[in-house]
Amino acid sequence: MKPGDRVKVESKIGSFEGVLMPEENEFLVLKLNTGYNISINKKQVTKTELVEKQKEPVEKQIKTEQNKSLPTISILHTGGTIASKVDYDTGAVYNKFTPEEMLKMFPELTKIANISSKLLSNMSSDDMRFSHYNVMAKAVEEEVKKGVKGIIITHGTDTMHYTSAALSFALENCPIPVLLVGAQRSSDRGSSDAAVNLICAATFIVNTNYAGVALCMHEHSEDNHCVILSGAKCRKMHSSRRDAFQPINTTPIARIDNNTKQITILKELKKSEGKLLLKLFDEKLKIGLLKVHTNMYAEEFQTFSKFDGLVIEGTGLGHAPINEIDKFTKEHSKIFDEVKNLAKKMPVVMATQTIYGIVDMNVYTPGRRLLEIGVLGNYCDMTPETAFIKLAWLLSNHAKETKDLFNKNLRGEISESIAYETNPSISQQN
């Protein structure tokens, strides 16, 4: 029996049937029908039976019937769980589907629009860098020039909110919908959310006049609805749930019923305001993101002394341990001095690690001291990730104006009024 064969295993912990994966030391590994793997210590295995040998896949040439009466949607493929499958040579789930294979996986898309596709990369979203944002932005520009109705970018979910924010800034006056779509469950699992997310994204594109960057993902864990979320005001809030992406300090843009394909508009849709302009990222910039915690040391801040900018993910309303109040907090004076030194060298901005809510450094003394030494971000409600991206983009395109522009709403990243309805526990207090 070889990896890829279907086998039945009798063991002291039970009977299991699934696809044999490569061995892991003393463990026998099976991929069950649920898509999950189970590891069984070989010492506990009493019997192994071959059910079916792995069949060599027969690749068929894909023929896509295009309907000239339908609008065209371009799919730009970057990888991620949305296009992943099991590699039985290694036992891992890899991103191996080409754009053409995606059409074979999701034939429903061709009933909604003419689908063109292009492979930009096949990577994990954790490997994204500013360079990749520029590649995507340039690819979007090419598709816009072709006159497509909209663009879907398939993307790994782990850093998809970084990319959606980056493209929101890089694509100035974006005239068409650019929707990032991912999946929390790989396509080889029965519970995969890939098809629903893609189909709802395509449905939204062809039936609205939205212009700009957004995400399309599950609203709840069920397959009933997807929501369109602002590219600069959303965040991945769960490691594995299908409704991991949530709007932050705002509401969804729209809801798509997966069963009826009905679209409910929840916010006024953005419209194009001019010709698309690319404002790309300086790929050599070094931007830091530092999370405040208890028992900090000045050395943690000194790490970023040679960077171009720093985002401090502060506690509460935007605080850091900078007050020396007793013999145990002498380090805090050093921290304050280091933040002050950094703020003289580069833009240092504050975001709150509470995620929901606004930065207000005027309320308490620590915040006011940070304001006095030039820390930016007061009265902003950006997520730390969006603040990170915005700072990098400003330094790339408006370096001399960064300190003046950071607190201004440029792409809908700052709310005119904070909407707490997305977090029920907070809305009770508002």
SS (H, E, C) 154-169: ECCCCCHHHHHHHHHH
Q: Is the pLDDT of residue 91 over 70?
A: no
Collapse the DSSP code of 280 into the 3-class scheme (helix H, G, I; strand E, B; otherwise coil) and give the result: coil
Highest mean pLDDT among 10-24, 143-157, 187-201: 143-157
172 and 293: one domain? no
154 and 272: one domain? yes
pLDDT of residue 124: 86
Question: Tens of pLDDT along 3-18?
Answer: 888 999 999 999 999 9
Strand partners, 216: 181, 228
Q: What is the pTM of this model?
A: 0.84
Distance CA 314, CA 290 (A): 8
Catalytic residue status for 158:
yes
Residue 57 belongs to a domain: no
293 and 272: one domain? no
Catalytic-labelled residue, pool 31, 78, 81, 208: 81
99 and 226: one domain? yes
44 contacts: CB under 8 Å, gap ≥ 6: 11, 12, 13
Do 184 and 223 meet the contact criterion of CB atoms below 8 Å apart?
Answer: no
198 contacts: CB under 8 Å, gap ≥ 6: 82, 106, 109, 152, 154, 181
Residue 342 belongs to a domain: yes
Enter the tokens of residue 385.
Answer: 């990730």
Can you give the residue range of the structural domain that contains 101? 72-278
Distance CA 183, CA 201 (A): 12
Find the DSSP H helices in 273-329. 298-302
Do 157 and 2 meet the contact criterion of CB atoms below 8 Å apart?
Answer: no
Distance CA 422, CA 407 (A): 23
Q: Is the pLDDT of residue 230 over 70?
A: yes
Point out the least confidently predicted range of 17-26, 153-162, 376-385, 390-399.
17-26
Q: Is the pLDDT of residue 125 over 80?
A: yes
Distance CA 238, CA 248 (A): 14
Collapse the DSSP code of 408 into the 3-class scheme (helix H, G, I; strand E, B; otherwise coil) and give the result: coil
234 and 295: one domain? no
Catalytic-labelled residue, pool 158, 193, 243, 308: 158
Residue 430 belongs to a domain: no
**One-letter amino acid identity for 168?**
S
Tally of domains within the chain = 3
Alpha-carbon dihedral 411, 417, 421, 424, rounded to 10 degrees: 110
Residue of higher predicted confidence among 155 and 416: 155
Residue 10 belongs to a domain: yes
CA 395 to chain CA centroid, Å, is: 22
Residue 63 belongs to a domain: no
Distance CA 347, CA 421 (A): 32
Catalytic residue status for 81:
yes
DSSP-assigned letter for residue 31: E
pLDDT of residue 301: 98
Do 193 and 183 meet the contact criterion of CB atoms below 8 Å apart?
Answer: yes
Residue 245 belongs to a domain: yes
Catalytic-labelled residue, pool 31, 78, 149, 157: 157
φ, ψ for residue 109, nearest 5 deg: -60, -35
**What mean pLDDT do residues 8-29 have?**
88
Which of the listed residues 278, 313, 343 is the one where a domain comes to its end? 278
Query: What CATH number is attached to the domain comprising 41?
Result: 2.30.30.520
Point out the least confidently predicted range of 99-113, 214-228, 254-268, 275-289.
99-113
Catalytic-labelled residue, pool 31, 149, 233, 236: 236
